[in-house]
Amino acid sequence: MIISVVSGKGGAGKTTIATCLAHIFEADYYDLDVDAPNGEYFLQPEDWHVRQVFQKQPVIDASVCSGCGLCTRECRFHALYKIIDTVYLTDTLCHSCNLCCEVCPEGAISYQPVAIGEVRTGFSTQTGARAVIGDLKIGSTRGTALIQDIVRHLEQNGGHQVIDGPPGNSCAAVAAIKPADLVVLVVEPTPFGLHDMLQTLEIVEGMQKPIVVVANKSQENAPLKKILAKRGYALAATLPLDSDYHRILLDGEILSKSSPVVYTLLQQALAAEVQS
């Protein structure tokens, strides 16, 4: 089973829950929060294997290009623009869709691979399973492409895989949800957290994924329970705002490994879905 752990906002505790689930279910862990991966600080993987990830990018041969501008008009992402008779590329806007190459009447556009990040794979003695970490190259905006590459290589070995997705509700978050058999939505039950949770719920519901909702750093759950009830959900587990939990995390420990209470809460929250 592939379990994607997501949150509508940063700081809700998504990585805390994802590393706990990797520990509880002895699951392979995929850190797809590629802009700022930090699950490895809890899982402490060893024996790294590193794989570079590339994406193709258009290159314009100025000696062949007539400057007709057809590619700039057809590019839906506005990555190409023309000044006088010269076409330029804004690589941060390019989605490598190949359309510019297809429409160019002179054949002046070709593609070359550019590095967008790397994937590091190690073994965690904390979980007894693999930890796969996506690292986006500094300055690159192609996080979604890196996530999609990792998902394509996701190994379903008969056990469980836990995906730690990027926060928010962007294309990158959707890419991390797409392969999931089950989505664990981590909510910080504050006004901002509830607002962003509703956006995430709409995305996950639109993708027709089963959902388990976990409240983290909670002091008051009544508004959250009311919102969930209106949409036909129940709160599966609650982790309170607890200074002891904070100390455990600051020490780089997996919360479920140090707290039997958290272990039991999360195991029971997912028991029915994981066993089905």
Which DSSP symbol is given to 179? T
CATH class in words for 2-53+138-275 = alpha beta
Q: Against a cut of 0.75, is the pTM above it?
A: yes
Q: Count of H helices and E strands in the chain?
A: 11, 11
CATH number for the domain whose boundaries are 62-107? 3.30.70.20
Strand segments, DSSP code E, in 7-45 are 28-31
Write the DSSP string, 56-92: EEEEE-TTT-----HHHHH-TT--EEEETTEEEE-GG
Find out whether 117 and 134 touch, Cβ atoms under 8 Å: yes
The encoded tokens of residue 143 equal 């996080």
Instruction: Specify the domain boundaries for CATH 3.30.70.20 within the chain.
Output: 62-107
Q: What is d(CA 116, CA 135) in angstroms, rounded to the nearest whole number?
A: 9
Say which amino acid occupies 168.
Answer: G
Find out whether 172 and 144 touch, Cβ atoms under 8 Å: yes
Instruction: Specify the domain boundaries for CATH 3.40.50.300 within the chain.
Output: 2-53+138-275
pLDDT tens-place values along the chain, 276 residues long: 999 999 999 889 999 999 999 999 999 999 999 999 999 999 999 999 999 999 889 999 999 999 999 999 999 999 999 999 899 999 888 888 899 999 999 999 999 999 999 999 999 999 999 999 999 998 888 889 999 999 988 876 668 999 999 999 888 999 999 999 999 999 999 999 999 999 999 999 999 999 999 999 998 899 999 999 999 999 999 999 999 999 999 999 999 999 999 999 999 999 888 876
